[in-house]
Amino acid sequence: MAGHPTVPLEFSELPESEMRARALAFYEAMKTRRTVRDFSDRQVPREIIEHAILTAGTAPSGANHQPWFFSVIGCGPLRKPLREAAEAEERAFYEGKAGTEWLEALAPLGTDSDKPFLETAPWLIAVFAQRRGGPKPGDHRKNYYVSESVGIACGLLLASLHQAGLATLTHTPNPMGFLTELCGRPENEKPVMLIVTGYPAEGATVPLHALDKKPLDQICGFVG
């Protein structure tokens, strides 16, 4: 497009055998990812979290506005009020606000309003979606495809943390407004999820229900 600078694409083509091997190896690695709810308090170096967030920041986004912010909560004084606020919302949710259909859908996961991992896991990453912001600091332009962009970034973040050997949990207390205040984020940013990460607790288990992934013919059709 005239007037806008470009650079040559850096692209290294792989032999087809290598492509097949890598696609399979990545699938084999990712299919061992589990949503973990029992975390150890063992510390994890901050650089691993920083690199995972840099990976998330490579996600494609509407007009390359990168409409995300990751507030990383270590093991400091925010933990107790955060857990209290999240558990208060979860109690309302599990005591009826969710409705029976939702609670029935969750039953095989065995979740409840008790969230000890919010105080035990070494890192919590609160993900915020920016409705406005634009590509440069200080911009206040409208952002586009915000949910899609932030969703992709979260996927990359989870993949990176998993590849780095960490357990993760996508936690979604509902509503999540308390994260705005606790993390000191502006009101125009919407908290979208809390990603909990660290080592699993010894003897951690996962619900059998979560292992059941749909086969290719149920999630994919080649139509052309």
Binding site for ligand IYR (CB under 6 A): 90, 93, 106, 109, 111, 171-174
Query: Taking a C-beta distance cutoff of 8 angstroms, is the pair 163, 29 a contact?
Result: yes
Nearer to ligand IYR, 133 or 173 (CB): 173
Taking residue 142's Cβ as centre, other Cβ atoms within 10 Å add up to 14
Burial of residue 91 (CB within 10 Å: 0-12, 13-18, 19+) is middle
To ligand IYR, the closest distance from the beta carbon of 102 in angstroms equals: 7
Nearer to ligand IYR, 72 or 92 (CB): 92
Nearer to ligand IYR, 147 or 174 (CB): 174
Nearer to ligand IYR, 134 or 207 (CB): 207
> Backbone phi, then psi, for 10, in 5-degree steps?
-90, 115
To ligand IYR, the closest distance from the beta carbon of 103 in angstroms equals: 9
To ligand IYR, the closest distance from the beta carbon of 52 in angstroms equals: 21
Separation between Cα atoms, residue 180 and residue 82, nearest integer Å = 11
Reduced to 3 states, what is the DSSP secondary structure of residue 74?
Answer: coil
To ligand IYR, the closest distance from the beta carbon of 41 in angstroms equals: 20
